[in-house]
C-alpha cells in the first residue's frame, strides 16, 4: 500500500496539460525547423538554378537570415518549453500540497507565472503572424505549380514569368547577366521556359509540399502555445487560491494559539 500511495502521489504531481503542450510544441517545432530550413535552401537553388541565374545579394542574405533564424527559434523554443514544463511541475505540486519548495505560497511564484503568461502570449502572437506569413510561399507555389497560373508559350515552349508575382527584384540584372539557353528571351532571367519551366514545375512541387508541412508545424506550435496559456492561467489561479488558503490557515492557527493561551492563563489564575 505504501508503494502504491507513493506512486499515486507522484502521478498526481505530473502536470498533464503542460506535458501535452510540451509534446505538441516539440513535434511542431521539429517539423517546422526541418521543413522550413530545407525549403529555404531549395528555394534559393530553384531561383538561381545552380548559379546559372544571378540573384541579388539581398536575396542571398535573406535566405541566410531565414535559415539560421529557424535554427535559433528552434533552440529558443526548446529551452522555453522546458521552463514552462518546470513551472507546471512546481505549480501542480503547490496546488496539491500547500507548500512545494516554497513555490506555492509566496508572491514571487505568482509574479513568475504572470511574467511567463505575458511572455507566452507575446510569443503566441509572433507564431500566429509567422503562420500567416507561411501562407505566402505556399500560395505562390500553389498558383505556379498546382494551378499553373498564366503560363504562355514562346517558340512552342511553355513559359512562366515571375515578374507578374513581383519576384523580378530577386534577380540581379546589372552588368551582363548569365541567361540559360532554354529561356530564348534575352536577358529576362525571371522568365522560365522550356526545360527550365519543366524543372521549375518539378522542384516547385517539392517546395510546395515542404512549405505546407512547415505551415502545419507552425500551426501546431501555435496550438501548443494556446495550451500553455490555459495552463499558466490555471496555475496562476491555483497559486493565488493556495496563497489565500495558506493565509487563512495561518491566521486560524494563530487565533487558536491565542485562544489556547488565554484558556491556559485563566486556568492558572483559578488554581492560584
DSSP string, 180-246: -TTT-STT-TTEEETHHHHHHHHHHHHHHHHHHHHHHHHHHHHHHHHHHHHHHHHHHHHHHHHHHHH
What's the predicted TM-score (pTM) here? Answer: 0.76
194 within some domain: no
User: Is residue 226 within 8 Å of residue 131, measured between CB atoms?
Assistant: no
- State the average pLDDT over residues 154-164: 72
The band of 183, judged by pLDDT with boundaries at 50, 70 and 90, is very low
185 within some domain: no
261 or 165, higher pLDDT: 165
Query: What pLDDT, on a 0 to 100 scale, did the predictor assign at position 120?
Result: 93
166 within some domain: no
209 within some domain: yes
266 within some domain: no
Instruction: Give me the domain span that covers residue 116.
Output: 20-94+106-148+203-252
Helix (H, G, I), strand (E, B) or coil at 161: strand
Number of structural domains (the chain) is: 1
Query: What pLDDT, on a 0 to 100 scale, did the predictor assign at position 220?
Result: 94
158 within some domain: no
| 54 alpha-carbon distance from chain centroid | 34
In this structure, what C-alpha cell is assigned to residue 164?
507578374
113 within some domain: yes
67 within some domain: yes
Place of cell 505504501: 2
- State the average pLDDT over residues 200-216: 89
As a 3-state breakdown, the chain gives helix, strand, coil percent values, each rounded to 5, of: 75, 5, 20
Query: What pLDDT, on a 0 to 100 scale, did the predictor assign at position 106?
Result: 60
User: Is residue 163 within 8 Å of residue 169, measured between CB atoms?
Assistant: no
Helix (H, G, I), strand (E, B) or coil at 158: strand
Amino acid at each position: 500500500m505504501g508503494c502504491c500511495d507513493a506512486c499515486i502521489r507522484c502521478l498526481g504531481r505530473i502536470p498533464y496539460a503542460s506535458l501535452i503542450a510540451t509534446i505538441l510544441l516539440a513535434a511542431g517545432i521539429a517539423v517546422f525547423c526541418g521543413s522550413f530550413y530545407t525549403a529555404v535552401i531549395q528555394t534559393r537553388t530553384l531561383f538561381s538554378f545552380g548559379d546559372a541565374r544571378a540573384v541579388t545579394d539581398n536575396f542571398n542574405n535573406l535566405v541566410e537570415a531565414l535559415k539560421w533564424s529557424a535554427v535559433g527559434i528552434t533552440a529558443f523554443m526548446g529551452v522555453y518549453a522546458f521552463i514552462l514544463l518546470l513551472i507546471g511541475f512546481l505549480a501542480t505540486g503547490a496546488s496539491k500540497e500547500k507548500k512545494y519548495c516554497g513555490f506555492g505560497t509566496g508572491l514571487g511564484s505568482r509574479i513568475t507565472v504572470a511574467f511567463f503568461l505575458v511572455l507566452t502570449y507575446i510569443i503566441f502572437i509572433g507564431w500566429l503572424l509567422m503562420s500567416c506569413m507561411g501562407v505566402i510561399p505556399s500560395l505562390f507555389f500553389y498558383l505556379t505549380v498546382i494551378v499553373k497560373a498564366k503560363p504562355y508559350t514562346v517558340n512552342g515552349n511553355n513559359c512562366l514569368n515571375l515578374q507578374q508575382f513581383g519576384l523580378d527584384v530577386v534577380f540581379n540584372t546589372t552588368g551582363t547577366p548569365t541567361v540559360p539557353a532554354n529561356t530564348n528571351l534575352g536577358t529576362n532571367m525571371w522568365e522560365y521556359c522550356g526545360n527550365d519551366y519543366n524543372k521549375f514545375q518539378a522542384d516547385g512541387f517539392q517546395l510546395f509540399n515542404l512549405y505546407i508541412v512547415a505551415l502545419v508545424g507552425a500551426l501546431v506550435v501555435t496550438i501548443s502555445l494556446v495550451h500553455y496559456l490555459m495552463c499558466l492561467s490555471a496555475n496562476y489561479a491555483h497559486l493565488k487560491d493556495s496563497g489565500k488558503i495558506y493565509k487563512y490557515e495561518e491566521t486560524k492557527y494563530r487565533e487558536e494559539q491565542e485562544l489556547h493561551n488565554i484558556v491556559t492563563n485563566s486556568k492558572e489564575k483559578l488554581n492560584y
